[in-house]
Structure formats: C-alpha cells, structure tokens
Amino acid sequence: MNSATTHLRTAESFLIQQDWSVYTPEQHAVWAELVSRRMPQLEEHACAEYLDGFQQIGLREDSIPNLAEVNKRLGSRTGWNATPVSGFLPPDAFFEMLAARQFPTTTWLRKREALEYTPEPDIFHDVFGHVPMHAHPIFADFLQEYGRVCAGLMHDKDKLERMGRLFWFTVEFGVIRQKGAIKLYGSGLISSHGESTHVIHHGPEIRDFNLDAVLNQEFLVSEMQKVLYAVDSFDQIFDAAKEAERRLT
Ligand SMILES: [Fe+2]
C-alpha cells in the first residue's frame, strides 16, 4: 500500500494492488479495441478538458493503463490518485475516498464479447471514462468537495439520494457547452458509444444546469437518458457542490 492510501479507514478493506504484469496480450488487445472504437467520436464530441487530460495522464491506446504510472502524472497535477479497489464500495467508503482525492478504480477488464456494455464498472469505464477529468484542477476540486459533502450526509438517506443525482448528472452523464456545441464529459457518456451517439443525435432534452432541478431529477440506470443538464464551465459544478452543502446540511 502506498503512502497516499494509509489514512483511509472505512475503505481500507477494499483496497487491492494492480498487478499489471498479469494482463494477457488478449486483454491489452481488448483495451486497444475499446479505445480505438471510442476515439474518433470523442475527438469531435468530448470536451477539451477530457481530451487534454487523456494526454496529460499518459493513457495509451495499445495497453491497459498501469495505475502507478498514471498516478505519477496525475498526482503531480492535481493530487488525485486512481486507487485500485476490489469492486463496488459501500457509500461511506466511496465518499471517504473521494474526499481524500482517491478515485476507487477497478482493475478487471470486460471481455471481447461485451465490448459495449458491462453491468459493473471495469477499468475501461473507470480509467478511460473518469480519470482524465481528474487532471483538470476545477473538476478535481469539485469531486473532492462532492465526496466531503456526501460523507457528512451519511445519516440521511433522502439527502444522499439527492446528492446521488448531482453525481449522475455531472460525473456520469455531464455535458458542457463549448464553442456553441454540446460536448461530453461524464464517464457514462465517454465510455459508451451508444449513450454518446444518443446525445449527439439529440436524443435527450438538454436543459441548463440548475442545482435544484438536478437534485430533484429522477433517472433510470437501465435506460438511455431522457434529460441531461449542460454547464457552461466547470466552476458551476464546483459552486453547486458548495451550494448543496449549504442547503442539505
Ligand atoms: Fe462511473
């Protein structure tokens, strides 16, 4: 365990090591296939900060990321760490990690037969989808703040559910207006060709980001999204996390 993870208490039992040497050539080939299928669309439709982050943290098309190498680059930029975990974390452990600038990261990779969809996150969703945004200073601060606020709401299921919607409509399915166009930054969009294509083809209604609306917006995990909320800058989601704390605590 590295020094960055020693102060976690609740999450500690979920931490694992990534043994990068055991990935097979087939697994690296699946990663390469996944990245090469997503990149043409993302070069046109992902936000500038995602594409910049992808380069900054040194992700490659030809091999599964070695998290130790990613973290050297990421840590020196924003202090975030993609921390290997065994799978889904209970909420208190998840929020504890976010508040400590550690992103719980799975290390397994989907098989070739399931390129487009996995019911649980894998390293493609977690690292390709999420981690590039953690190189952006304001998004990085937002995500830590989000975790800190949620960690303080563990006693209140209803408030946590509302905060879960803020996560869903930003971190997972967030879009941003850039140069007059809707660009993608949420991991559920970045890592899914089907969800992204749905947005690009004007499937969901795109509303202006509004904290009250987001906290009240129900969603279904199992269906294509019908409503998304667009920000004009990432300052808006950082401010939203702060405002949510004022309203809910
Ligand atoms: Fe995710």
Residue 244 parent element (H or E)? helix 235-248
Q: Point out the catalytic residue in the list 96, 134, 145, 191.
A: 191
Q: Tell me the per-residue pLDDT of 129-143, one tens digit each, with 9 for 90 and over.
A: 999 999 999 999 999
The confidence score (pLDDT) of residue 1 equals: 38
Q: Is the dihedral of CA 129, 212, 249, 219 positive or negative?
A: negative
Q: Residue 117 pLDDT more than 60?
A: yes
Q: Are 144 and 51 in contact (CB under 8 A)?
A: no
Let me know if 116 is a catalytic residue: no
Taking the centre of ligand 1 as the mean of its atom positions, its distance from the CA of residue 189, in whole angstroms, is 10
Is residue 210 classed as helix, strand or coil in its secondary structure? coil
- Mean pLDDT in residue range 181-208: 96
Q: Point out the catalytic residue in the list 45, 130, 134, 136.
A: 130
Mean pLDDT value across the chain: 95
Taking the centre of ligand 1 as the mean of its atom positions, its distance from the CA of residue 125, in whole angstroms, is 6
- Mean pLDDT in residue range 205-220: 96
Q: Residue 197 pLDDT more than 80?
A: yes
Q: Residue 96 pLDDT more than 50?
A: yes
Residue type, 45: H
The confidence score (pLDDT) of residue 2 equals: 44
Residue type, 51: L
- Mean pLDDT in residue range 198-217: 97
The confidence score (pLDDT) of residue 30 equals: 98
The confidence score (pLDDT) of residue 203 equals: 94
- Mean pLDDT in residue range 141-155: 97
One-character DSSP codes across 154-192 = TT-HHHHHHHHHHHIIIIIT-EEEETTEEEE--HHHHT-
Boundaries of every domain in the chain: 14-248
Q: Point out the catalytic residue in the list 45, 96, 125, 134.
A: 125
Taking the centre of ligand 1 as the mean of its atom positions, its distance from the CA of residue 142, in whole angstroms, is 15
Taking the centre of ligand 1 as the mean of its atom positions, its distance from the CA of residue 247, in whole angstroms, is 25
Q: Are 182 and 133 in contact (CB under 8 A)?
A: no
Band (pLDDT 50/70/90 cuts) for residue 186 is: very high
Let me know if 26 is a catalytic residue: no
Least confident of 8-12, 30-34, 117-121, 138-142: 117-121
Let me know if 21 is a catalytic residue: no
One-character DSSP codes across 42-63 = HHHHB-HHHHHHHHHTT--SSS
- Mean pLDDT in residue range 181-188: 97
The confidence score (pLDDT) of residue 249 equals: 85
Q: Residue 46 pLDDT more than 60?
A: yes
Band (pLDDT 50/70/90 cuts) for residue 222 is: confident
Q: Residue 35 pLDDT more than 90?
A: yes
CATH fold of 14-248 reads Phenylalanine Hydroxylase (1.10.800)
Let me know if 28 is a catalytic residue: no
Q: Residue 22 pLDDT more than 60?
A: yes
